[in-house]
Amino acid sequence: MNASAPLLIVEDDQSLRTVLSHELARMGFVVHALADGRDAVAAVRQHDPDCVLLDLHLPGVAGMDLLPKLLAQEPDLRVVVFTGHGTVPLAVQAMRAGAFDFLTKPVSLDLLEQTIRRAVGSAQLLRTNRRLQRAVAGRPPAGMVLGSAAAQKLLAAIGKIARAEQPVLIRGESGSGKELAARELHAQSRRAAEPFVVVNCGAVPKNLIESELFGHVKGAFTGADSKRLGLFEAAAGGTLFLDEVGELPLELQPALLRAIQFGEVRPVGSDQVRKVDVRVLAATHRDLQAWLQDGRFREDLYYRLAVLELWVPPLRDRADDIVPLAQLLLQQQATRAGRELRFAPEALAVLQGHAWPGNVRELENAIVRLCVLADGPEISAADVHEFALQHRQRAAATTLPTLEIRELERLAITEAMRRFGGSKRKAAEALGVALKTLYNKLNAADGSEPGGDEPEETP
């Protein structure tokens, strides 16, 4: 991590702002501080910080309304929410809106420093990727554009499609680089200077996705204490990327269809329609054509989204890309860690021969582990086997799935509840999550819970 990473503090309490500025500067950060959130977007543009420490209760604009605007301005930015009115629902709302972390005042300086260094490290990793891509003339994003014929075919298609204004449906396996393809479509479009806004349709609860996309007015529903700008409006003039669009609830699909077809959105609780100028890109690993037959996806929305289609090939179909991609990822990770690392020829042969069922995401995770755990400057074939490939084998042998993948959450909870006779506490312990987290997952999943004879447990 850069020792002099730029930070932006948005805090209206003068004494706290002064203390934070002094302590964070002492830790080696370059600190810029504001008392009013209305200047925050311009400050991000001016100072290009890696991290923003954002108070939620600000004069002029609510921090929760400011959060999506900051992320729309700079998608790689990491925002740490910092408030004296911390509650679990507020923390969940902030994280769903894109916050990197949530801290409640007062907070220890050790925890504050640890959180900000993690946020800065994450932001710098993403920015290193982006700067490296720009630095190599004519070279598109890592993981998508290298030497294979399949990658070159994808690049050529992106170059043609980027100039159009129609929606694009990006298909491909999980981890294959669909978001990278979407970002490159945006970067080569006439909208490149405008926001690129991402929403994961599978990660937002069904009862919140409409507000997430279209916004809401004050009082629209319980907890709507102020109006909120939707992501369609946050992406005005630019591109909205709907990741995992197949997870979008069926009842919301007509509103999305109208937004795409007519450029109109209506915030929840409002009777006024607003015009938006947004290009929509959507991605899915689902077979949406099969879902049309099952009635799980609207035919009219499918054909509106799939005016243009882009297929991102899996890494196994791009075998010529594995070695150069692994070397590029290692270079990025080594630079971030301040180390000199290289692959032994035998290690590259092992990487080349692996099937990589998790695609680019799995390869990147493997390189991160190698960079952290390898002892010497040269990574051997034995290191690859021990630190990279065996990780997948251990993960596959895990008795219970984890709660890191939304699609497996329900399966994991159901299995854990069955094994422990319906005990939520024991299930939570087995899954490695807090009991309150388990309750939240149960409440978010279609309103029904895996049953059990044990009475309700107090978190």
Each residue's pLDDT expressed in tens, for the chain with a length of 459 residues: 454 678 999 998 889 999 999 999 888 888 999 988 888 888 888 888 889 999 888 877 788 888 888 888 787 789 999 888 767 777 778 888 888 888 888 888 888 998 998 888 877 776 655 544 444 434 445 445 456 888 888 888 998 999 899 999 999 999 888 999 999 999 888 888 888 999 999 888 877 888 889 988 888 887 777 878 889 998 989 999 999 999 999 999 999 999 999 999 999 888 888 999 999 999 999 989 889 988 889 999 999 999 999 999 999 998 888 888 898 888 888 888 788 899 999 999 999 888 898 898 899 888 988 888 888 889 998 888 887 786 555 545 444 443 344 445 666 777 777 777 788 888 777 776 778 777 777 776 544 444 443 434 444
98/100 Cα distance (integer angstroms) = 6
Each residue's pLDDT tens digit, 362-415: 998 889 888 888 888 899 988 888 877 865 555 454 444 433 444 456 667 777
126/112 Cα distance (integer angstroms) = 22
Cα(first)–Cα(last) distance of the chain, in Å? 38
241/197 Cα distance (integer angstroms) = 6
With b for 16 or more beta-carbon neighbours within 10 A and e for fewer, the 220-230 pattern comes to beeeeeebbbb
Q: Are 318 and 151 in contact (CB under 8 A)?
A: yes
Q: Are 10 and 51 in contact (CB under 8 A)?
A: no
Q: What is the pTM of this model?
A: 0.56
Domains and CATH numbers, the chain: 6-132 (3.40.50.2300), 145-311 (3.40.50.300), 315-396 (1.10.8.60)
Phi-psi region at 170: left, alpha or beta (left = phi > 0; alpha = psi -120 to 50): beta
